[in-house]
Amino acid sequence: MANYDYKEGKKRVLEILDNKIEIKKQDDIPDEKYFTFDNGFYGWVTAIFVDIRDSTTLFSEGDKEKMAKIIRSFTSEIIDILNNDKNKREIGIRGDCVYAIYTTPTPADIYELSFKTIYVNTYMKMLNKLLKQKKLPTISVGIGMATAQELVVKAGRKHSGINNQVWIGNAVTKASKLSSIGNKNGLGPIVFSEASYINFVNEYNKKHSKDIKEHFTEYKYNNEKIYGSGNNLLITDFNTWVENGMK
């Protein structure tokens, strides 16, 4: 039986509880290399989650090779879309969900990230066309994006090599929840938190003559305003290429 030295464990816990931790409040969240077990950062964070709908039914299919191809084609390109950003601080896969977390100190940063959700929405049109061509099941996703101020700390066991950043606040948890309700019960695939939506719309309307609000509908979720968009919010040249046969 594996043993745990609980007496040494008590010493370590007391060391953590008695230790002075400096929390730095600033607009941005720095790179991981700036985190120690003696500090933390509180700043603006935006998270994007992309979650496959009804994955339990999909993955209960008998042909495991087909399922492997579908999940790999989904994750490969979603990761590529989300990964390409200087403000990215974490990216990963949780089950059937791909997610990324970014520092967003300015409204312009949130505006730029919003287009990643639209690229993902357009990519799903491409993927499903290719899946149909290969006579494979098509998939739908929920795309959640949320913005908030978060506390970020390094957590784990000092000197063990087992540690990671922990995001404490609303952006990450809310983006995950919003992705879980996108493309369900009449809600469109892209779902923004109120903060993400306001920053995106305000920045968009500064740069364009057309009001982007017409693409969104306001909903209430857990007594908070959220904003959903249908399948018509697409990257124009990408979508045209898909519609014209992808040649």
Kindly state the tokens that stand for 69. 């191809």
CATH number, domain at 52? 3.30.70.1230
89 lies in some domain: yes
Domain span at residue 203 reads 21-243
16 lies in some domain: no
2 lies in some domain: no
Between CA 220 and CA 187 the distance in angstroms is 11
Contact 189, 70 (CB under 8 A): no
List the one residue out of 106, 98, 102, 107 whose CA is nearest residue 87: 102
Other beta carbons within 10 Å of 80 = 11
Our measurement of the distance from residue 209's CA atom to the centroid of its chain's CA atoms, rounded to an integer in Å, reads 29
Between CA 224 and CA 219 the distance in angstroms is 8
Between CA 20 and CA 24 the distance in angstroms is 13
Q: How many structural domains are present in the chain?
A: 1
**Cα dihedral 78/83/89/93 (nearest 10):** 30
* Angle between helix 64-83 and helix 107-133 axes, rounded to 10 deg: 150
Whole-prediction pTM: 0.93
Per-residue pLDDT tens digits of the chain, which is 247 residues long: 678 998 999 998 999 899 999 999 999 999 999 999 999 999 999 999 999 998 777 777 677 888 889 999 999 999 999 998 999 999 999 888 999 999 999 999 999 999 999 999 999 999 999 999 999 989 999 999 999 999 999 998 777 777 889 999 999 999 999 999 999 988 999 999 999 999 999 999 999 878 888 899 999 999 999 999 988 899 999 999 999 999 8
Contact 168, 150 (CB under 8 A): yes
Instruction: Tell me the backbone φ, ψ of residue 198, rounded to 5 degrees.
Output: -60, -45
Contact 43, 25 (CB under 8 A): yes
